[in-house]
Chain A
Amino acid sequence: GENVGLHLPTLSVQEGDNSIINCAYSNSASDYFIWYKQESGKGPQFIIDIRSNMDKRQGQRVTVLLNKTVKHLSLQIAATQPGDSAVYFCAERDSNSGYALNFGKGTSLLVTP
């Protein structure tokens, strides 16, 4: 079936460096993508989203890149801070097929001082 997965289950970066978290998806009809951050014992927190008619979108310290050719999504975090340590999930939806957001399994980001 369709799936959303992540290339790396864990990522360790030094404080102040840039982080890149990757996500591969398999449904070529997916047209909406979201990145969430989840801290321990809490619910996922919305970070940024992107629609399939775009290939880049920027937020505060975060950038999402979408490459529909290779079905790849990435989240870039600039000047990573200790507070960025969390699990990051990508999610996608094929809006023509209905309701479901399909979540990847997550990447754990650890920021070391």
Chain B
Amino acid sequence: DGGITQSPKYLFRKEGQNVTLSCEQNLNHDAMYWYRQDPGQGLRLIYYSQIVNDFQKGDIAEGYSVSREKKESFPLTVTSAQKNPTAFYLCASSPHPPLDRARNQPQHFGDGTRLSIL
């Protein structure tokens, strides 16, 4: 079945450590996104990518980095500069780039990675 796979499901970070969250999709979607969800809150956009080798900052990009070397993969690195990294991280994809206004499509989500601090 097609879908979005996030791994690991749970991740622990030590002080000063960078950690990378994996997101893979086999839906042949152009656009991919990373969101952060805090308890009792909605989703906030960290980064998004419309095509391979291109990505843009979202609302809360500080302390995070991404790459998009392959269409199906969009890994997120939580760097030591992110002082409050404990959260639920969600990856999403959509068929068309978000700026293709004529073809609004919903984003489809993976099942998330829960990151905690040791």
Cα of A91 to Cα of B98 in the assembled complex, Å: 14
Contact A103 B101 (CB under 8 A): no
Closest to B45 in A: A100
Q: With A43-B112, A45-B109, A104-B42 known to touch, is A99 a contact of B56 (CB < 8 Å)?
A: yes
Chain A contributes a number of interface residues (CB within 8 A of B) equal to: 26
User: A71–B111 Cα gap in the complex (Å)?
Assistant: 31
Flag whether A34 is at the interface (Cβ < 8 A).
yes
Is B58 part of the binding interface, using a Cβ–Cβ cutoff of 8 Å?
A: yes
How many Å lie between the Cα of A42 and that of B91 in the bound state?
A: 11
A-contacting residues, B48-87, CB 8 Å: 48, 50, 56, 58-59
How far is B112's CA from A41's CA once the two chains are assembled, in angstroms? 8
CB-based contact A98/B98 at 8 Å: yes
Q: Which residues of A contact B (CB under 8 A)?
A: 4, 31-32, 34, 36, 41-46, 49, 51, 89, 91, 93, 95-96, 98-101, 103-106
